[in-house]
Amino acid sequence: MVENGRPHPTVLVVDDDPAVRNSLKFSLELEGFAVRLYADGRQLLDDPQLPPDGCLIVDQVMPGMSGLDVVDAIRRRGMTYPAVLTISNASPKLRDRAAMAGVAVIEKPFFGNELVDAILDSLASIAIRRTAP
């Protein structure tokens, strides 16, 4: 998908469930996004070829690192990807923690276009911040 003459940033999907990863890849590619898949946070963090722009879609409940821990780790490296956290039954405490980190929360199962809308909203907020004086 091209917006304002530029391709959309890549969507980086981090989820330990291969069925979820593959279905998200299929759905997001239909929407015109380039998609890269990672089985866990370590795999993402070990990727030497991370794109300069992107949007993280990260599952909260994974072995090793939680989704918010992955977001924290990638941001400590200076990557400013917007992030969308996916989870079933998010607690108010988790929602507050995500909000403080500027991370959108989408509950599983996904309905309609809510994930795509969250990606587009996250990317738009980054674009606004980059063009603000």
pLDDT tens digits for 87-101? 998 999 999 999 999
Tokens (6 digits) for 58: 């990260």
Domain boundaries, the chain: 9-131
Q: Write the CATH number of the domain with boundaries 9-131.
A: 3.40.50.2300
Please give the model's pTM, rounded to 2 decimal places: 0.85
How far, in Å, CA of 8 to CA of 32, rounded?
8
Higher per-residue pLDDT: 82 or 4: 82
Higher per-residue pLDDT: 128 or 88: 88
Which residues fall within 8 angstroms of residue 40, CB to CB, at 6 or more apart?
Answer: 14, 16, 62, 63, 64, 65
At 2 the pLDDT is 45
- The answer, yes or no, to whether residue 111 has pLDDT greater than 60, is yes
Mean pLDDT, rounded, for 91-116: 90
- The answer, yes or no, to whether residue 78 has pLDDT greater than 60, is yes
At 119 the pLDDT is 86
